[in-house]
Amino acid sequence: MIVLVEWLNYHHLLYFWTVGRIGSVSRASAELRLTQATVSAQLKSLEQSLGEKLFHKSGRHLILTDTGKIVFRYAEEIFSLGQELMGTLKGRPQGRLARVNVGVTEVMPKLVAYQLIEPALKLKDPYRIICREGTNSELLAALAVHDIDVMLSDGPVDPAVNVKAFSHLLGECDVILFGAPRLAAKYRAGFPRSLDGAPFLLPTSNTTARRLLDQWLESQNIRPTIVAEFEDSALLKVFGQRGLGFFVAPSVISAEVQRQYDVKVVGRLEGVTERYYAISLDRKLKHPAVVAIFDAARKRLLD
DSSP run (H or E) holding 80: helix 66-89
Q: Is 40 within the bounds of a domain?
A: yes
Residue 266 in this model has a pLDDT that exceeds 50: yes
Within this chain, do residues 247 and 297 fall inside the same structural domain, yes or no? Answer: no
Report the Cα 240 to chain-centroid distance in Å.
21
Within this chain, do residues 196 and 252 fall inside the same structural domain, yes or no? Answer: yes
Model confidence at 245, pLDDT cuts 50, 70, 90, reads very high
Q: Is 81 within the bounds of a domain?
A: no
The 10s digit of each residue's pLDDT in 106-156 is: 888 888 888 888 888 888 777 788 898 888 888 988 888 888 889 999 888
Q: Is 131 within the bounds of a domain?
A: yes
The 10s digit of each residue's pLDDT in 76-104 is: 778 777 766 666 666 554 544 567 889 99
Within this chain, do residues 232 and 100 fall inside the same structural domain, yes or no? Answer: no
3-state class percentages of the chain: helix first, strand second, coil last, to nearest 5: 45, 25, 30
Any residues with CB less than 8 A from the CB of 232 and at least 6 apart, and which?
Answer: 106
- pLDDT for 90: 63
Is residue 32 within 8 A of residue 39, CB to CB? The reply is yes
Any residues with CB less than 8 A from the CB of 172 and at least 6 apart, and which?
Answer: 273, 274, 275, 276, 301, 302
- pLDDT for 87: 61
Give the domain range for residue 98: 94-171+277-302
Q: Is the pTM of this model over 0.75?
A: no
Q: Could you tell me the CATH number of the domain that includes residue 17?
A: 1.10.10.10
